[in-house]
Structure 1
């Protein structure tokens, strides 16, 4: 029996729990408003083929309102049975407050690597409180028509990358890089933690910061900002006032050669881009170097500890851990990749390119996603500010490193010496 088919049989058997004769209803809380039709028309019907007696409702809340809304409903006892989980501290706090069920012993967790489970486990790694669902991968999109017109090769090294940018700047009227700093968040989440992983060796560097064995003032981190300081020459006129939406439009209209991004943007450009586009991973220092990608654990799903339908909810989570769900979610929510270890035949060519990097490179997560945002000053907000200032040319890489290190050392004991 083929492996995929055998996995489906096992998943079906595991999901078909003996439940009460009376049909049970599960409500899924989520911030993924855009996925409502997918859940109702594809995912839930697929689950019901194995569990016809469990009715499932998908109840999304606007992403900007989700965190406060789900907190309020959990405290009031009105939240749904299944809680879509943000990574790390947001969901960890829900677990510590007694709102999420511990999932230790759930067989579906066996289908995930430790790095995937880390985003929804206690700091000691002993208790899982959400099942990993999907990640997003960071990299670059490029306009294939512009590259062909200017006879450009997809860059593999940093020297190649800046060579391409210089050629676009000198030999055409196109903007080399579709990126602005008005919204600031892209400067950290799309740029610094994207290209930086190749500087600090992914998880090795991230864990060294957490263990107090490295500092942001070390060359590995300063050098990432040094690279960014060179980008301003290629980001186009008035980029300081350019929003995320402006950058999307610039690339979609075929006016920019390269767009630093995450896989979540694939679906947008599939609909909006006027030219064919491809993807390339963050450049390494030298040809043949080990590559690192930000394969960021983005979405998990857990069980409301006060749900009256816990067994049905476990059946649903076990189905989420199945090969069937991995295939459906990865191919229907383009750019969001199942975190399970099942092989998936990814149909979208750009998504297939990006997920193939998992086989070539070491995966890491956004640098400050775990632990580092817990103190004051908040590192996420600080990284937005300093990284955008480095891109703007108003703050040196060394000053950016000093600023972040100083704030980190104020509250994090391993960094206090």
Structure 2
């Protein structure tokens, strides 16, 4: 009898121990700068709600992530959850059967087609990563300088250029803080910032993919023409000015307007907490009959499920939570300037981040024209060509038409739908 009681007690204890055991998930990521945010804020909130699931955030250095992740996936040692870069890199992982199809995941209906596009197949029918956040393009400005010079936030191109003229005439400050040394700034914060309003966002972007639009006509050409108007307002020696130089100049209060991505908000908060930041959205062009703003709401980061994971049920629970308003609230405020893509309710505390986010309600949204499909060729590469051409327009070494023809001819040289558009 005693033996039987002892045996039953042992079985019950073992069962109790089994129930107490947690499923452990590991997240692969390149965002090593976010480690403390995940450890101290995001993951504790999830594990409080799901105490039987333990999640570990295990990042790799950004420059090493792609190679390390590929090696782990091939060796079968990668984590259960894979942080996904946008577009082709993650698409290749899905095609190689390293990522599961998440189309039917609970919470995936919280995302628009634009939000899912960076992590979906070309036909848009299959989504393989849950979108986490995007960055939004616009302009930051120094409120103290605007107040000193009696300036207001510009809403149209004419108002924007008039503000720049007043700052230049005053002589104390750089009107427009941006350099061309790194090239990508000219395209990313210049051409791709004001361009979407001119080429009607998704209509124009998809038109490039189908071949109905071209870089050397319509809104895409007009974007180069609009960018050229910035040239007189850049600082002395801007041709040798790198991205960190621009950040330092603006943070030090030496310039009035900074063409920006929302990721710069947190940077400037750290560099100069006393800097009075303001923000205004990309301006419209009433003189061209264009009064509807379009913002570049560019997809930045998502998270997928390792097809070889042995903990898929727990992993899918975590992924559905990423699609929730609770995650959105945590992420948006832990990383001001990175905006959750889910159509859920959340509040951003940072006032400048609030401004960027509010533009989603006022404007149409799209993402950078070169990122989906059009930059799959190594050389020539559409994204790199836009960097080069945008910088040369600002340097005055190419006219807008020459820049547009350059980008278009190189795209048409390899991309079949554009071969008829020379």
Q: Under TM normalisation by the shorter chain, which class is it?
A: over 0.9
Which position in structure 2 is the counterpart of 1:168?
167
- The residue that corresponds to 2:311 in the other structure is 309
Unpaired runs of at least 5, structure 1: 1-18
Residues 1:106 and 1:391: Cα distance change in structure 2 (over 3 Å):
same
Secondary structure of the 1:411 match is coil
Within 2, Cα distance between the matches of 1:166 and 1:59?
Answer: 50
SS for the counterpart of 1:251 is helix
Equivalent residue for 1:387?
Answer: 390
User: How many residues in Structure 1 have an aligned counterpart in Structure 2?
Assistant: 399
Give 1:104 deviation, angstroms. Answer: 2.4
Question: Does residue 1:414 correspond to 2:417, yes or no?
Answer: yes
> Is the CA contact (8 Å cut-off) linking 2:196 and 2:296 kept in structure 1?
yes
Deviations 1:69-128 (A, max 9, x none): 222221222211111111111100111111111112211201111111111111111211
CA distance in 1, matches of 2:24, 2:345: 31
Partner of 1:16: none
SS at match of 2:26: strand
Matched, 1:278 2:278: yes
Aligned position for 1:100: 99
Question: 1:39 maps to which residue?
Answer: 38
Question: Do structure 1's residue 25 and structure 2's residue 27 form an aligned pair?
Answer: no
2:346 match: 344
Distance 1:114 1:20, change over 3 A: farther
> How much does 1:152 deviate?
0.6
Return the TM-score normalized by structure 2. Answer: 0.92
Give, in whole Å, the separation in 2 of the partners of 1:71 and 1:182: 32
Partner Cα distance (2:72, 2:392) in 1: 39
**Per the alignment, in what secondary structure is the counterpart of residue 107 of structure 2?**
helix
User: In the TM superposition, what are the counterparts of 1:9-408 in structure 2 within 5 Å?
Assistant: 22-273=21-272, 274-286=274-286, 289-375=291-377, 376-408=379-411
After TM superposition, the score normalised by the length of structure 1 is 0.93
Query: Do the aligned residues in 1 keep the contact of 2:207 with 2:213 (CA within 8 Å)?
Result: yes
Could you say what the CA RMSD is over the residues aligned between the two structures, in angstroms? 1.4
Q: Give per-residue Cα distances to partners, 1:111-159, cap 9 Å, x unaligned.
A: 1111111111111112111011101000000000000111011110001
After superposition, what is the alpha-carbon deviation per residue over 1:31-90, rounded to whole angstroms, capped at 9, x for unaligned? 112211110011100000121111111111222222222222212222111111111111
> Hey, what does 1:4 align to over in structure 2?
none
Q: Aligned partners of 2:203, 2:31: CA distance in 1, in Å?
A: 32
> Aligned partners of 1:68 and 1:231: how far apart in 2?
39
Shift of 1:185: 1.1
Counterpart CA distance in 2 for 1:50 and 1:300 is: 22
Structure 2 unaligned segments of length 5 or more: list them.
1-17
Distance 2:19 2:409 in 1: 57
